[in-house]
Each structure stands twice: as structure tokens, then as C-alpha cells.
């Protein structure tokens, strides 16, 4: 049986709720860090081909700033926090109070990179800890790594686990927007949560949803 | 995995830990490109096997298709790019080393088929977009920070 045929709409709803709770907490953390309102979209749970996954973040050639971490513990997986370069620059300027910092051209400022990594750390940490409370699973984030590069190059790394069982991935995608900026496609922040294939059953069981009929 | 004949070009975007393998026959102006995600098909767990993403199966299949399309085995050459380590982690588990492992596997496979590698740009830590022209046999490599280079 194909790995992805096992999922029903109930399963996808459960995953959506997971994204909702996790990203909700992360958005709150972001909001208090920047001291401004942050809008969050209702999460999307999608079963996508690897190419479609790249399109979600603006196409494989699009250059973005991404914080990546591995989730370790009961239900391993990968997590990306992806920002456009403009948005990342703006966040850094707001956090550090220095409007001269930008990520438009390398070499990037050490302080700016470090701030962005910390931002990713705090947000993904709050995402994961709420997820961990909700599911009663032990989930530990690895130390996050930051990279500024093409979407395709970055995301394919998170798809390695999936690529061993399927050509499709299940992605829990939540888009974030600052309130006072016009939401255009290019300035959205994304959380991508990619549980490893074996983790789905563990997550469903922890929430009392019988897996796979 | 795809084939191309001059004057068309073939490209793949956003190679990270993946490896792009171009195998070509210059005289016939015929080239094939495979986008390798994983080093070995034994890593596949159940289900249908997509041979295009594993180094061992994809390289063999690419060569088969080239020959079916009129390439000559002895004339085949290869150029490879990719296999970067996109994120730096303190603990480098096997998963984290996937880029270098892909490169090793591709080289091993090409060596066993006796296809010489005439150009390579592998490793490092930046993503690559590659484009191959079967007429000139030049592989154009674009990275975010270092611009365009040619092999």
C-alpha cells in the first residue's frame, strides 16, 4: 500500500490542528519579540510532490532565509522557518534597532545572522513546546541552523526522510504576516513542519486518533 | 531524469544536497540529466521505487536511455554538480552528511560504468542551479553568492 493512502480527512484535520496550536504560539512569541501585531493564517495541510513543496515557498530558485532544525525525541521530524530576505531584514532591524542592517547582499553581518538564528530558535522552540504539551510527546529541537540560499536547495534537505518512502510529503504550512504590511506573496513567513514518515502514527496515537483503518 | 538534444538546454534548479549528473555524447549532441536525492536504492522503504532519485539506479537508467536514443557507450562523458551541505550542524549524523554521500555514490557508479567525469563542482555549502548545453557541452552553474561559473 502506498504510504500516503493511509491518511483520511480526519488525520489531515488533526495535523491542521497541530499546526494551528504550534504556529499560534510561535506567532505570539514573534509578536511579543517585535512588539507588534502578527497575523497568522489558518494552517494548510497538504500532500504535495517535492516540486510543489518548493513552489509553496516561491519556487526552487527563490532566495530565502531559512532556519532549519531537526525534531528529536518521540516523533522525529524536520522544521523550517522560512522568510523572504526583505522580511528577514526587517525583523532584524526591529530586533536590533539598527536600520542599516540588511541581508540583501553577502557578506552578511554576523550580528544580523545571529539575531535571525535566535529568532528562529525562539519561534520554533515555542512551536515545538506547545506541540509537545498538546501531544504529551517528548520532542526536542536540535540547535537550529541558518542558511540563506535557494529554496530548492534548502527544502530538499528536509525531504530526505520522506524521499525514502515516497515522492510526496505531508507538509503542515502556516503563513505569518506582520499586520502593518500589505500581504503580498513574497513577504510571507512560513513554518513548515515535516514529521518523519514513521512519526505520524505516533502523533495520531498520542491524540487518541486511531491510525490507519 | 530527462533527455535533451541540441539546440535545447537542460536544467535543474536549486540543487542542495542533491547531485545533478549530466551524461552526454558530444558528437550526437545528446545529453541526459538526473537529479539524485539519495545515494542508494537500498534506502527505499517499501512502496514503489522511483529509480530516478537514487544514485545507483538513476545513473544506470540514464545511460540506458541515452543508448536507446542513439548514444554510443564509449563516447559517454559526465559532469556533476551539487552535494552541498546546506546546514551546518554540530553533530554530523549520516543524515546530515547526505550531500557528500550522494557525491561518493554517483562517482562510484560512474566509475563502475567507466564513464569519465570531465568536470565537477561538488560539496561546499551553497545551493546550485545548473544548465547544460549539449551542443557546447558546457555546464553552467549558478550559485547565490558566487555568481555563474562554467564547467
Residue A171 in any domain: the answer is yes
Residue A211 in any domain: the answer is no
Q: How many CB atoms lie within 10 A of CB A38?
A: 18
pLDDT for the residue B24? 93
What CA–CA distance (Å, rounded) separates A163 from A6? 17
| pLDDT of B33 higher than 90 | yes
Contacts of A148 in chain B (CB under 8 A): 144
**Is the four-CA dihedral B100, B102, B108, B114 of positive or negative sign?**
negative
Q: What is the pLDDT of residues B75-98, one digit of tens each?
A: 999 999 999 888 876 555 666 688
pLDDT for the residue B47? 61
DSSP state of B9: -
- Write the CB contacts of B150 (distance below 8 Å, at least 6 apart in sequence): B138, B139, B140, B141
Residue by residue, what is the 3-state secondary structure of B62-118?
HHHHHHHCCCCHHHCEEEEEECCCCCCCCCCCCCCCHHHHHHHHHHHHHHHCCCCEE
Contacts of A151 in chain B (CB under 8 A): 14
Specify the pairing of strand B117-122 against strand B77-82: parallel
Q: What is the pLDDT of residues A145-199, one digit of tens each?
A: 888 888 888 888 888 878 888 777 888 888 777 655 555 544 467 888 888 888 8
User: Chain-wide mean pLDDT for chain B?
Assistant: 87
Which of B16, B50, B89 is the closest to A153 by Cβ?
B16
Mean pLDDT across B42-56: 78
Calculate the dihedral angle through the C-alpha atoms of A206, A207, A208, A213, rounding to the nearest 10 degrees: -90
Q: How many CB atoms lie within 10 A of CB B93?
A: 10
Residues B13, A152: C-beta atoms closer than 8 Å: yes
Residue A63 sits in a domain whose CATH number is: 3.40.1550.10
Residues A154, B127: C-beta atoms closer than 8 Å: yes
> What domain range includes position B97?
2-150
DSSP state of A108: P
What CA–CA distance (Å, rounded) separates B95 from B128? 20
**Using an 8 Å Cβ cutoff, are B69 and B18 in contact?**
no
**Is the four-CA dihedral A177, A183, A187, A189 of positive or negative sign?**
positive
Number of domains in chain A: 1
Residues A63, B45: C-beta atoms closer than 8 Å: no
Which one is catalytic: B1, B18, B38, B84? B18
CA distance, residue B10 to nearest chain A CA (Å): 15
Contacts of A145 in chain B (CB under 8 A): 87-89
> What domain range includes position A65?
3-206
Name the residue among B9, B125, B23, B13 with its Cα closest to residue A106: B125
| pLDDT of B106 higher than 90 | yes
Which of A146, A148, A152 is the closest to B14 by Cβ?
A152
For residue A75, what is its C-alpha cell? Answer: 516523533
CA distance, residue A119 to nearest chain B CA (Å): 17
**Using an 8 Å Cβ cutoff, are B49 and B132 in contact?**
no
DSSP state of A116: H
CA B33-A157-A187 angle, to 5 degrees, is: 100
For residue B6, what is its C-alpha cell? Answer: 541540441
Phi-psi region of B20 (alpha: psi -120 to 50; beta: other; left: phi over 0): beta
Residue A152 in any domain: the answer is yes
Residues A152, B45: C-beta atoms closer than 8 Å: no
Q: Which residue has the higher pLDDT, B129 or A187?
A: B129
Which of A54, A163, A166 is the closest to B38 by Cβ?
A163
- Write the CB contacts of A10 (distance below 8 Å, at least 6 apart in sequence): A209
pLDDT for the residue A185? 44
- Write the CB contacts of A17 (distance below 8 Å, at least 6 apart in sequence): none
Mean pLDDT across B57-62: 91
Number of domains in chain B: 1
| pLDDT of B73 higher than 60 | yes
Cα-based distances in Å from B70 to A143, B23, B26, B35, B59: 51, 13, 12, 22, 17
What CA–CA distance (Å, rounded) separates A183 from A179? 8
B136 pLDDT band, cuts 50/70/90, is very high
Contacts of B90 in chain A (CB under 8 A): 143
Per the annotation, the verdict on B18 as an active-site residue is yes
What CA–CA distance (Å, rounded) separates A115 from A99? 14
Peptide bond into A143 cis (omega under 30): no
pLDDT for the residue B93? 64
pLDDT for the residue A166? 78
Residue A176 in any domain: the answer is yes
- CB distance from A3 to chain B under 8 Å? yes
Residue B136 sits in a domain whose CATH number is: 3.30.1330.200
Residue A96: strand, helix, or coil: helix
Contacts of B89 in chain A (CB under 8 A): 70, 142-143, 145
**pLDDT by 10-residue block (mean), chain A, 213 residues:** 73 85 85 81 83 82 87 88 85 81 76 86 87 88 86 86 80 74 58 85 84 55
Q: Which residue has the higher pLDDT, A33 or B104?
A: B104
**Using an 8 Å Cβ cutoff, are A119 and A110 in contact?**
no
Residues B14, A148: C-beta atoms closer than 8 Å: no
What CA–CA distance (Å, rounded) separates A58 from A38? 21
Amino acid at each position: 500500500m502506498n504510504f500516503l493512502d493511509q491518511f483520511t480527512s480526519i488525520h489531515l484535520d488533526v495535523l491542521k490542528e497541530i499546526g494551528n496550536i504550534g504556529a499560534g504560539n510561535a506567532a505570539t512569541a514573534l509578536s511579543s519579540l517585535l512588539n507588534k501585531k502578527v497575523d497568522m493564517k489558518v494552517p494548510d495541510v497538504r500532500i504535495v510532490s517535492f516540486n510543489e513543496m518548493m513552489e509553496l515557498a516561491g519556487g526552487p530558485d527563490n532566495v530565502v532565509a531559512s532556519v532549519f532544525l531537526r525534531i528529536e525525541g518521540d516523533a522525529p521530524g524536520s522544521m523550517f522557518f522560512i522568510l523572504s530576505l526583505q522580511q528577514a531584514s526587517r525583523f532584524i532591524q526591529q530586533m536590533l534597532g539598527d536600520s542599516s542592517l540588511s541581508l540583501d547582499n553577502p557578506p552578511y553581518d554576523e550580528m544580523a545572522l545571529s539575531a535571525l538564528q535566535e529568532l528562529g530558535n525562539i519561534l520554533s522552540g515555542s512551536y515545538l513546546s506547545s506541540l509537545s504539551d498538546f501531544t504529551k510527546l517528548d520532542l526536542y529541537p536540535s540547535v537550529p541552523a541558518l542558511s540563506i540560499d535557494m529554496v530548492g536547495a534548502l527544502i530538499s534537505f528536509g525531504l530526505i526522510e520522506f524521499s525514502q518512502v515516497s515522492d510526496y510529503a505531508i507538509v503542515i504550512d502556516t503563513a505569518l504576516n506582520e499586520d502593518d504590511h500589505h500581504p503580498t506573496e513574497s513577504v510571507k513567513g512560513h513554518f513548515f513542519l515535516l514529521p518523519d514518515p514513521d512519526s505520524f502514527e505516533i502523533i495520531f496515537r498520542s491524540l487518541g486518533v486511531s491510525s490507519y483503518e | 531524469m530527462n533527455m535533451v538534444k541540441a539546440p535545447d538546454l537542460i536544467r535543474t534548479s536549486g540543487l542542495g544536497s542533491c547531485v545533478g549528473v549530466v551524461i552526454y555524447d558530444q558528437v550526437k549532441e545528446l545529453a541526459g540529466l538526473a537529479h539524485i536525492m539519495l545515494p542508494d536504492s537500498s534506502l527505499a522503504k517499501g512502496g514503489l521505487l522511483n529509480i530516478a532519485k537514487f544514485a545507483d539506479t538513476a545513473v544506470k537508467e540514464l545511460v540506458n536511455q541515452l543508448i536507446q536514443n542513439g548514444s554510443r557507450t564509449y563516447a559517454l562523458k559526465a559532469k556533476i554538480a551539487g552535494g552541498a551541505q546546506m546546514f551546518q550542524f554540530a553533530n554530523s549524523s549520516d543524515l546530515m552528511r547526505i550531500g557528500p554521500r550522494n557525491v561518493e555514490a554517483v562517482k562510484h557508479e560512474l566509475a563502475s560504468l567507466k564513464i569519465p567525469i570531465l568536470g565537477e563542482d561538488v560539496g561546499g555549502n551553497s545551493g546550485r542551479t545548473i544548465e547544460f548545453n549539449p551542443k557546447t557541452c558546457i555546464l553552467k552553474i549558478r550559485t547565490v553568492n558566487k555568481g555563474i561559473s562554467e564547467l
